[in-house]
């Protein structure tokens, strides 16, 4: 199937909330590379908007809170996937990787919460 047609099908399926599973590591690697490239492009676009001088640490706070909310939601999905993997006897390597992802996700939410607190502390200190 031509790449363009596959992309259109994938886009249509994604609009319905469905995702296609990839059966080879080569397909997975291609999807991961595409995700990374898209995230970098979006980060560059966002960086252009936020590279203005900040007169207060509070300017960053809403964005960091939004990121933390998304990470919390994603960690919840990972916990559900981990529970399912355990219940259905999936391979130990998969379970260990999911456990590590969940642990790192929880750590990320703690770090982001600390960062939000630091913005308030910096504001109180006059920044």
* Residue located via tokens 């990121």: 67
- Say what the pLDDT of residue 21 is: 86
Determine whether 88 is exposed, middle or buried from the number of CB atoms within 10 Å of its CB (0-12, 13-18, 19+): exposed
DSSP three-state, residue 125: coil
Q: DSSP character for 59? A: G
Domain boundaries, the chain: 1-52, 57-127
Kindly report the pTM of this predicted structure. 0.76
pLDDT tens per residue, range 63-91: 899 999 999 999 999 999 999 999 999 99
Residue 125 neighbours by CB distance under 10 Å: 8
pLDDT per position as a tens digit, 87-113: 999 999 999 999 999 999 999 999 999
Q: How far is CA 47 from the centre of its chain?
A: 17
């Amino acid at each position: 199937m031509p790449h363009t047609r596959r992309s259109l099908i994938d886009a249509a399926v994604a609009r319905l909330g469905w995702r296609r599973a990839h059966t080879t590591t080569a397909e997975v690697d291609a999807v991961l590379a595409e995700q990374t490239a898209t995230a970098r492009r979006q980060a560059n676009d966002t960086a252009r908007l936020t590279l203005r001088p900040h007169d207060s640490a509070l300017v960053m706070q809403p964005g960091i809170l939004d990121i933390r909310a998304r990470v919390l939601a994603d960690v919840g999905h990972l916990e559900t996937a981990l529970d399912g993997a355990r219940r259905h006897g999936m391979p130990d390597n998969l379970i260990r990787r999911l456990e590590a992802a969940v642990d790192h996700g929880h750590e990320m939410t703690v770090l982001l919460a600390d960062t939000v607190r630091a913005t308030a502390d910096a504001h109180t200190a006059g920044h």
